[in-house]
């Protein structure tokens, strides 16, 4: 059983190397664009966001954090993105939008990290790692895999049915949806990290800021 799963995973990665390359390229481009766009903010925006960040850092130790609320909000946000990518994979022309959605997610991460580092310097690097890394260790790989699986399914809908008419759409759809359910479980784990672990790490780190 384990060997069969391993063979299936190896076959999947081998057959979709180009898609993995493209999805990661769009993710990295989004991160880079987000990070560099920080420098394009006008002075008023920079001051406003800087004040918000400073107030957050100052007030955070005294906040009554409800981990279950943070976990639910994080999961709701992430699962919406997964559902969007799942739906786009069911459309014939969904591939460009899938890449765009992943780039936008990268832009958000890049902008957040870039601004914090710009405002806080070396402290910002530590803060960014603590605030963004734990949950994204799980969420980013899940997002990349979701993008590749959805893009691959969309391409099959466009071309594969002609080349492989014997493939049953219902079986492939069930397998496709099952993969997204598994990725949803991974996202739940990432949301628990964001709700229960990340705030604790931030609290510990702020003692040194």
DSSP 8-state symbol, 207: T
- Closest by CA to 116, choosing from 206, 26, 23, is 206
Ordered DSSP codes for 108-164: HHHHHHHHHHHHHTHHHHHHHHHHHHHHHHHHHHHHHHHHHHHHHHHHIIIIIHHH-
Other C-beta atoms closer than 10 Å to the C-beta of 135 total: 22
Residue 121 structure tokens: 């310097």
For 16, phi then psi, to 5°, come to -120, 25
Average pLDDT of span 3-20: 82
Inter-residue contact 35 to 113 (CB < 8 Å)? yes
Total domains in the fold of the chain:
1
What's the confidence (pLDDT) of residue 64? 79
Q: What are the φ and ψ backbone dihedral angles of 125, each rounded to 5 degrees?
A: -65, -45
Least confident of 33-37, 136-140, 164-168: 164-168
Which of these ranges, 23-27, 73-77, 201-205, has the smallest mean pLDDT?
201-205
Q: What integer is the mean pLDDT of 79-100?
A: 93
Kindly tell me if the per-residue pLDDT of 104 is higher than 80. Answer: yes
Query: What angle, rounded to 10 degrees, do the helices at 2-15 and 17-37 form?
Result: 70
Angle, helix 169-192 to helix 122-155, in steps of 10 degrees? 170
> pTM of this prediction?
0.89
| Among candidate residues 19, 12, 9, the one with its CA nearest the CA of residue 102 | 19
Mean pLDDT, rounded, for 22-45: 92
Q: Which domain holds residue 31?
A: 2-206
Q: Which of 158, 154, 161 is nearest to 176 (CA)?
A: 154
Average pLDDT over residues 196-208: 81
C-beta of residue 135 within 8 angstroms of C-beta of residue 196: no
> How far is it, in rounded angstroms, from Cα 171 to Cα 123?
51
């Amino acid at each position: 059983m384990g060997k069969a799963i391993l063979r299936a995973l190896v076959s999947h990665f081998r057959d979709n190397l180009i898609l993995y390359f493209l999805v990661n390229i769009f993710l990295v481009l989004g991160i880079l664009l987000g990070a560099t766009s920080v420098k394009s903010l006008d002075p008023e925006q920079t001051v406003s966001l800087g004040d918000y960040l400073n107030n957050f850092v100052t007030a955070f130790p005294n906040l009554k954090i409800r981990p279950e609320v943070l976990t639910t909000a994080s999961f709701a946000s992430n699962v919406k993105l997964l559902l969007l990518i799942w739906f786009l994979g069911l459309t014939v022309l969904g591939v460009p939008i899938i890449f765009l959605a992943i780039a936008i997610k990268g832009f958000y991460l890049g902008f957040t990290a870039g601004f914090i580092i710009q405002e806080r310097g070396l402290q910002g690097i530590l803060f960014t790692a603590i605030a963004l890394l734990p949950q994204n260790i799980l969420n980013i790989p899940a997002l990349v895999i979701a993008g590749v699986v959805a893009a691959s399914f969309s391409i099959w809908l466009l071309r594969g049915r002609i080349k492989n008419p014997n493939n049953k759409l219902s079986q492939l759809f069930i397998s496709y949806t099952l993969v997204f359910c598994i990725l949803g479980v991974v996202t739940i784990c990432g949301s628990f990290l964001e709700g229960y672990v990340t705030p604790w790490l931030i609290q510990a780190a702020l003692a040194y800021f």
